[in-house]
Amino acid sequence: MERNAARNALVNLLVLLAAGVAGFVASRYARSYSGLVSGVFMALGVLVSAVSWFQMRLLERERLEKLEFDELTKSAASSALFNANETEVFPARRSREQFERFFIPIFAVILFIVETGGGVWLSMVLQKVTAEAVLQPLVCLGVFGMLFLVLFMLGRFSTNLGRAEEYRLLRPSATWVLLNAYLCLFVLAGIGVTWFGVPKVDWYVGRVEAVLLVLVGVETLVNLTLELYRPRVKGKVERPIYESRLVSLLGQPEGLITTAAHTLDYQFGFKVSETWFYRLFARWLPWLVLAQAAILVLSTSIVFVDPGEQAILERVGRFVEVLQPGAHFKFPWPIDRAFRYAADKIQTVEVGFVPDGADPSTRVAVFWSVRHAKNDENFIVAKQDASTLTNEDAGARPLPVDLLTVGIPVQFQITNLQQWVYNNRDPDKLLEGIAYHEVSRYFVNADIDQVLSSSLGAAAEALRNRIQAQADQHELGVKIVFLGLEDIHPLVEVAPDYENVVSSLNTSKAMILQARSDAINTNMIAEVVALKTVANAQADRLRQETNAFTQAELFTNQLPAYLAAPSVYKKRMYLETFSQALANTRTYFLLSTNIKPILILNQEPKINSSLTDISIPAPTVRTN
């Protein structure tokens, strides 16, 4: 019988190997993710079966060795001089013990790493791939259907055989065979549903299998850990660490309670399953699970709508009402369904560029000539002379447009949730389209200087009203709360030229102010010169009048003296005048008689001063 069990374990091993290869090839061909992941389970089943088969072989050798020893002991009792050591006499037993002491735990650790690591890796891979339709689903269905049948029959046979205590080592491989059979059925169901039009099911089945693999790995680790603290009871046969209870449970779901009972009994070392609590729990567990499911369904009868939210309530697909924030009762799923929306939240549609994501509080200033957005969308603005280009040769001229960069946030709030949800499939996309449309329309009907310099507040309000009117026309159910035109400017490439215009305005202003300053200076100087001229003239007039008067007065006084002695008076006047004149002049007398008197009058305005012209200051008295 041992040989039969070992042979059965070998069959399990080979069948799992063949099934794994067949399943893998079929899954690769059909692009079935669930099939590929089930191949991993089959590979693990092969490993476990190999180890359990080897362990059974070692046990068989030990048994044979014991039989031989018993035979020898009976035939030649105490004929040896020395009694050999047990370890030397029973090498097979030693091998088995060492195998169980060292190899099994190491194998369990390896199994844990492969199961957990493999499960995590498969989950990550599946997350990155997109669900696609299974190719040749019928082929896949056929292969996995066959595998299910073969593995199920073999698994049931091996499991029944493994119930006997002496064939306990058959159980690990048997449960893996049975588990793989059910996994094939799982894959079958997934591919079948995919075939009927839901490709994601195959992907979901693969994800579930990957998660299951991780759980099995975790269970292996738990078994390893619990094995350290399990009380050793003499006479009790140890369970292989690599035998997974989860796998056996999945392979025999009808034995859930039995498996749980055996686990507890084995772990604690006494019959936990015989206690009253356990029996009560075992009896009512299915009802409890059913009740839990019912409670879960009934829990969908209450919906909580958070502040700032509203919810659409549908009853068998029909709109019932809009739920306001708070708790509401409804029929359970799937009769009533509630769909929540952030209705009060101020949402924004950006027209133009998307900001570069930098924290606005860290940005000191925003300049036209410095790029401050992730990507710029250029908007066309009309040019004044665009309207004149209607004749044929206008095609030869450059485009009569200017370009602007804009960043216009359009903030809105949902005011009618029913309209928002039921009128348009993509209401936010429609609102974005409307916003872009109105902004584009505004710009292509305006001149760039008009856009940049006109009252932005009025323009923003006009645009907001237009977008609101369009939104109302489309029954979007929104209110446009704000539209900002604060970020409209020429492109970065031409911004410096626009800034030069401002500089030129300042330069021009400076020139005019300088000219005014010069004008004031000129006028003031002219006024001063005019005043001076008039004042000099007035002084001259006064001098002239006074001179004339005094001369007339003097003459009147001199006349009597002259009349009294004309020649004497004249001589006297001449000599007085001459002597006064000589006092400050340089005079030369010529003794020759053949010349006339010469009078040199130097009328130069500036005469080089000579020593005789210097006035010598009076000496200062120095006191000691």
Residues 110-139 that bind another protein (CB under 8 A): 133
Shortest reach from residue 51's CB to another protein, in Å: 37
Site for another protein in 57-116 (CB under 8 A): none
Residue in 174, 180, 215, 156 with CA at minimum distance from that of residue 52: 174
Answer for which of 275, 324, 454, 558 binds another protein (CB under 8 A) is 558
- Using the minimum distance from each CB to another protein, give the nearer residue, 224 or 373: 373
Question: How far apart are the two ends of the chain, measured CA to CA in Å?
Answer: 153
Q: Under the criterion CB under 8 A, does residue 185 sit at the interface with another protein? A: no
Least separation in angstroms between CB 95 and another protein: 49
Residue among 60, 208, 423, 462 that touches another protein (CB under 8 A): 423
- Contacts of another protein in 140-179 (CB under 8 A): none
Q: Under rule CB under 8 A, which residues in 448-477 are in contact with another protein?
A: 450, 474
Rounded distance between C-alpha atoms, residue 4 and residue 169, angstroms: 12
- 288 contributes a contact to another protein by CB under 8 A: no
CA angle 574–577–578, rounded 5-degree value: 80
Per the listing, tokens 């669900």 go with: 131
Scanning 58-66, 228-236, 262-270, 588-596 for contacts with another protein by CB under 8 A, the matching segment is: 588-596
Cβ pair 467, 438 in contact under 8 A: yes
Inter-residue contact 228 to 105 (CB < 8 Å): no
CB of 5 to another protein, least distance (A): 33
Instruction: Based on the shown chain and the rule CB under 8 A, indicate whether residue 321 belongs to the binding site for another protein.
Output: no
Q: Of these, 67, 72, 153, 511, which contacts another protein (CB under 8 A)?
A: 511
Q: Do 220 and 242 touch, CB atoms closer than 8 A?
A: yes
CB atoms closer than 10 angstroms to residue 102 = 10
Say whether residue 357 binds another protein (CB under 8 A).
no
Distance CA 273, CA 279 (A): 7
For another protein, the binding residues in 14-43 under the rule CB under 8 A are none
Residue 509 binds another protein, judged by CB under 8 A: yes
**Element at 223 (helix H, strand E):** helix 200-229
Q: Of the listed pieces 28-36, 87-95, 441-449, 477-485, which binds another protein according to CB under 8 A?
A: 441-449
Contact with another protein (CB under 8 A) among 163, 279, 345, 441: 441
Nearer to another protein, 124 or 288 (CB): 288
Q: How far apart are CA 110 and CA 217, in angstroms?
A: 10
**Shortest distance (Å) from residue 443 CB to another protein:** 9
CA–CA separation, 65 and 71 (whole Å): 10
Which of these segments, 271-279, 359-367, 405-413, 593-601, binds another protein (CB under 8 A)?
593-601
CB 38 within 8 Å of CB 151: no
Task: Single out the residue of 156, 173, 165 nearest to residue 50, CA to CA.
Answer: 173
Q: Do 504 and 440 touch, CB atoms closer than 8 A?
A: no
Q: Which CB, 161 or 193, lies closer to another protein?
A: 193
456-473 vs 427-444: helix crossing angle, rounded to 10: 140
Residue 290: count other Cβ atoms within 10 Å of its Cβ: 10
Instruction: Choose one: 98-106, 162-170, 210-218, 285-293; the region binding another protein (CB under 8 A).
Output: 285-293
Binding-site member from 342, 525, 565, 568 for another protein (CB under 8 A): 525
Give the separation between CA 263 and CA 241, rounded to whole angstroms: 12
Residue whose CB is less far from another protein, 302 or 539: 539
Cβ atoms 412, 497 nearer than 8 A: no
512 forms part of the interface with another protein (CB under 8 A): yes
Looking at 436, 478, 483, 488, which residue binds another protein (CB under 8 A)? 436
Among 21, 444, 469, 568, contact with another protein (rule: CB under 8 A): 444
Instruction: Look up residue 300 and give its two tokens.
Output: 């969908």
How far is 555 from 549, CA to CA, in rounded Å?
10
Q: What residues between 323 and 352 interact with another protein by CB under 8 A? A: 334
Give the residue, chosen from 21, 113, 469, 590, that forms a contact with another protein under the rule CB under 8 A.
Answer: 590
Shortest reach from residue 501's CB to another protein, in Å: 5
Which of 357, 589, 619, 624 binds another protein (CB under 8 A)? It is 589
In this chain, which of 319, 346, 363, 486 binds another protein, going by CB under 8 A?
A: 319
Distances (CA, A) of 521 to 509, 527, 531, 533, 592: 18, 10, 15, 18, 65
Q: Which two tokens stand for residue 201?
A: 């099911």
Q: Is 297 in the site for another protein (CB under 8 A)?
A: no
Query: Does 201 help bind another protein (rule: CB under 8 A)?
Result: no
Does 229 bind another protein (CB under 8 A)? Our answer is: no
Answer for which of 586, 614, 621, 624 binds another protein (CB under 8 A) is 586
Per CB under 8 A, contacts with another protein among 364-403 are: 377-380, 382-384, 386-387, 389-392, 394-395, 398-403
Enumerate residues 6+ apart whose C-beta is below 8 A from 377: 352, 353, 405, 406
The correct pick among 76, 601, 611, 614 for binding another protein (CB under 8 A) is 601
Tell me how many residues contact another protein (CB under 8 A).
141
The phi-psi region of residue 326 (left if phi > 0; otherwise alpha if psi is between -120 and 50; otherwise beta) is left
CA–CA distance, 457 with 451 (Å, rounded to integer)? 11
How far apart are the C-alpha atoms of 435 and 440, rounded to whole Å? 8
Find the shortest distance in angstroms from Cβ 54 to another protein. 41
Task: Write out the two tokens for 288.
Answer: 């409890």
Does 596 help bind another protein (rule: CB under 8 A)? yes
Identify residues 560-579 at the interface with another protein (CB under 8 A): 562-563, 566, 570, 573-575, 577-578
State which of residues 607, 611, 618, 621 lies at the interface with another protein (CB under 8 A).
607
Give 475-517 as a 3 state SS string: CCCEEEEEECCCEEEECCCCHHHHHHHHHHHHHHHHHHHHHHH
Does 447 participate in binding another protein (rule CB under 8 A)?
yes
Site string for another protein, 529-548 (x = CB under 8 A): xxx-xx-xxx-xxxxxx-xx
Look up residue 513 and give its two tokens: 């102010």
**Site for another protein (CB under 8 A): which residue of 599, 611, 614, 621?**
599
